[in-house]
């Protein structure tokens, strides 16, 4: 499906990026997810969406899975292997325990830390 979408929109200058999926499951095996991401990148690029034209967006989803992602992605050399690939993190302040106890100022402090 991604290759089909890439072929259809590869010549559209208004397309700046293609996200390969949305919010992979929290229990998803990270090595299998990275395998799938590599295949997705290869298919999208082969279908005509060049790195100079379109970013490929890979959702890591919850920011706290970044370390797990990096343990798989880095040793494969993928940051050097693939150009114009972007990681997508979701910083929710409503799911999980404890968020409901923060006031507005405390939420802003957390957001500021995430941006560093």
Q: What is the 3-state secondary structure (H, E, C) of the chain?
A: CHHHHHHHHCCCCCCCEEECCCCCCCCCCHHHHHHHHHHHHHHHHHCCCCCCCCEEEEEEEEHHHHHHHHHHHCCCCHHHHCCCEEEEEECCCCCCCCHHHCCHHHHHHHHHHHCC
What is the per-residue pLDDT across 4-50, written as a single tens digit (0 to 9) for each? 999 999 999 999 999 999 988 888 999 999 999 999 999 999 999 99
Q: Are 26 and 69 in contact (CB under 8 A)?
A: no
Looking up tokens 């559209």 gives 12
Residue 11 phi, psi (nearest 5):
-95, 0
Looking up tokens 């395998």 gives 35
What is the predicted pLDDT for the residue at 95? 74
Does residue 96 have a pLDDT over 80?
no
CA angle, 70 then 74 then 78, to 5°: 120
Does residue 79 have a pLDDT over 80?
yes
């Amino acid at each position: 499906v991604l290759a089909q979408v890439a072929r259809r929109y590869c010549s559209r200058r208004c397309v700046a990026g293609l996200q390969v999926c949305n919010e992979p499951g929290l229990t998803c095996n990270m090595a299998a997810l990275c395998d799938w991401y590599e295949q997705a990148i290869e298919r999208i690029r082969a279908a005509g969406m060049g790195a100079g034209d379109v970013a490929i967006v890979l959702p890591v989803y919850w920011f706290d899975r970044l370390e797990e992602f990096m343990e798989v992605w880095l040793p494969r050399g993928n940051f050097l292997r693939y150009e114009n690939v972007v990681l997508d993190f979701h910083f929710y302040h409503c799911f999980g325990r404890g968020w409901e106890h923060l006031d507005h100022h405390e939420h802003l402090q957390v957001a500021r830390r995430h941006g560093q």
